[in-house]
Structure 1
Amino acid sequence: MTIVDLTNRYGIITGAGQGIGRALAVEFGSRGAHLLLVGRKESTLVATARLVEAAGGTAEVFTQDLTLPNSVDRVAEAVGSWATVDLLVNNAGNVRAGRLELTSEADIRSMIELNLVAPVLLTRALLPRLRTGADRDSIVLNISSGIALVGMPFYTVYAATKAGLARFGESLRRELTGVKVHVTTVYPGATDTDMMSSQNAGADLGWERRSLDDVIADVLAGLEAGDHEINTVPEDRRGMQELNISDPMAVDAAMAPGLADLESAVRDHRSI
């Protein structure tokens, strides 16, 4: 039995120009959604909109850098005339890997602003609409990361923002007990998307990548089942996550021999 109905949603997807955001837009489009696609590049958003329409949905494009002042208010205003808003996908994110002391203040602030501040502010702005969206639960879908479950070296700031987003979703879910808003947090592991194109760590360093299709299938199945937390790492690969709960120092010891190789493999990983 479907617990959360994904059909005919009216909502916003941030970071919709590529990767997980685009794939989710197409999937919701195939279920009859009308979407506001938000991102920094108009050309990629237009391409996503065409895919949404080909899948059976409709879409509007809204080019916006969510790290800029008042950008969240402009997104909220863009759906001000809609009769219903019952979907928010906080997907937009960026990354800059490398040693903390070599990371610029600008890159640190960019990750914090886009990965954490923007989804908090956008959710706050849209919550009055989401609370009264329809006669069914509205959806807030936060795309966190597997790094929120196991903090990885050379991703200190990114890990902090994604862990913060996860706890934001958990707290919001509890705050909205009894309110018709379904809050779900997704923890994707390494996924084969454009965002990972500048990252060269492979399975030997613990970064085996899953296909985007497989990750999206897990997200949709979990969401339809009413899950509040969706971990896209296959169960047979969750050993490090489980060890990080029971014996985090053992995780430190396991990672230590490969630190130099990992640093070399991720030093160019940047999507800012």
Structure 2
Amino acid sequence: MDLSNRHGIITGAGQGIGQALALEFGRRGGHLLLVGRQSATLEETARLVAAEGGTTEILVEDLTQPGAVERISQAVASWSELDLLVNNAGNVRAGRLELTTDADVHAMIDLNLTAPIMLTKALLPTLRQSGQERGSILVNVASGIALVGMPFYSVYAATKSGLAQFGESLRRELIGTGVHVATVYPGATDTAMMTSQNAGADLGWERRSLDEVIADLIAALEAGEHEINTAPEGRRAMQQLNITDPMAVDAAIAPGLEALELAVRDHRSI
């Protein structure tokens, strides 16, 4: 796929994977609407994109608030084309389900699942129209947890699995329309989102650098892939085992369950 000169929206563009993708599309001549909750981080992303040769607009927006989708749609209404949407914004709260507040459950569902569905729904007619020429790109950033549900991440896993199945279903719905739907499954990635999570490789949480993950992601997009797995090799072995013998995964996790809970119980973002 040709990733150059894309006109698109990236949510969660102030840091981590969202910021890194903005830089990649920026250096390929893209014009991007950067969406996020904090003006300072978006402005930093805009500065970095400009240094790479891209151009940006900024929209400070909480995607979970009423009217957010409409305001994003309005921000690009005057664009001559829209051929890129990256649904990247997300949050996580780890811990035992019975200790998870109702507010935290809704926060994850609203941002990780409802927001990307509603934003895609609103922008899909424009993506279809732009896709008739060289093709539009819709990227949903799910998680490796969508492939292997990990303890103490039950709600997060539900939202990311839902996003992955949303992408798979929509991909089949859009065959022949020129809209390329890609779902990304990052494993543990060394970003700000992971700073409050203390599980290491010994507990099955080997981390990859952001540069490595983005390099794999961009290469896969350029190759026209739809299902993009950036997890380290060790986690991919567990993913395969989870398909063939899920109870074996249970048995492998069980001895370290207490240590894992201690390591992730403070894992929160946003």
What TM-score, normalized to structure 2?
Answer: 0.98
CA distance in 1, matches of 2:213, 2:6: 21
Moved more, 150-159 or 226-235: 226-235
The residue type equivalent to 2:197 in the other structure is Q
Does the CA contact (< 8 Å) of 2:83 and 2:130 recur in 1? yes
Q: Which amino acid aligns with 1:166?
A: A
Aligned to 1:114: 111
**Equivalent position of 2:63 in the other structure:** 66
Determine the structure 1 residue equivalent to 2:190.
192
Q: CA deviation at 1:67?
A: 0.6
Alignment partner of 1:139: what SS?
strand
The aligned counterpart of 2:162 is 164
User: Which of residues 4, 7, 10 in structure 2 aligns to 1:10?
Assistant: 7
1:238 pairs with 2:221: no
Alignment of 1:73-152 (within 5 A): 73-134=70-131, 135-152=133-150
Q: Secondary structure at the match of 1:81?
A: coil
* Structure 2 residues not aligned, in runs of 5+: none
Q: Which runs of 5+ in 1 are unaligned?
A: none
Amino acid at match of 2:246: P
Residues 1:269 and 2:263 are matched in the alignment:
no
Aligned to 2:220: 222
In structure 2, what residue type is equivalent to 1:264? L
Which of residues 12, 32, 35 is equivalent to 1:38? 35
Q: How far off its partner does 1:37 sit?
A: 0.2
TM-score (norm 1): 0.98
Equivalenced residue count is 269
Q: Give the Å deviation of 1:58.
A: 0.2
The amino acid across from 1:250 in the alignment is: A
Conserved 8 A contact 2:206-2:232: no
Give the secondary structure class of the aligned counterpart of 2:130: coil
Name the counterpart of 1:48: 45
- Code of the residue aligned with 1:128 in structure 2: it is P
3-state secondary structure, aligned to 2:14: coil
**Secondary structure, aligned partner of 2:137:** strand
Measure the CA separation in 2 of the matches of 1:182 and 1:95. Answer: 27
Give 1:249 deviation, angstroms. 0.8
Deviation at 1:233, TM superposition (A): 1.5
CA distance in 1 between counterparts of 2:227 and 2:109 reads 22
Rounded to whole Å, the distance in 2 between the matches of 1:143 and 1:198 is: 20
Cα deviation for residue 235 of structure 1 reads 4.0
State how far apart, in whole Å, the 1-side matches of 2:235 and 2:94 are. 23
Q: Which residue of 2 aligns with 1:178?
A: 176
In the alignment, residue 210 of structure 1 is paired with which amino acid?
R
- Aligned partner of 1:183: which letter? V
* CA-atom RMSD in angstroms: 0.8
The offset of 1:72, in angstroms, is: 0.9
Q: Please tell me the residue identity of whatever aligns with 2:21.
A: L
Secondary structure, counterpart of 1:132 in structure 2: helix
- Per-residue deviation at 1:190? 0.3
Partners of 2:187 and 2:232 within 8 A in 1:
no
Q: For residue 237 of structure 1, report the CA deviation from its aligned partner.
A: 4.2
Determine if contact 2:208/2:232 at 8 Å carries over to the other structure: no
Residue 234 of structure 1 deviates from its aligned partner by 3.6
Identity of aligned residues (%): 73
Segments ≥4 residues shifted beyond 6 Å: none
Specify the SS of the correspondent of 2:50.
helix
2: CA distance between counterparts of 1:73 and 1:95? Answer: 25
Cα deviation, 1:90-133, whole Å, max 9, x if unaligned, reads 00000000000000000100000000000000000000110011
User: How far apart are 1:53 and its partner, in Å?
Assistant: 0.5
1:24-56 Cα deviation digits (max 9, x unpaired): 000000000000000000000000000000000
Which residue of structure 1 lines up, in the alignment, with residue 251 of structure 2? Answer: 253
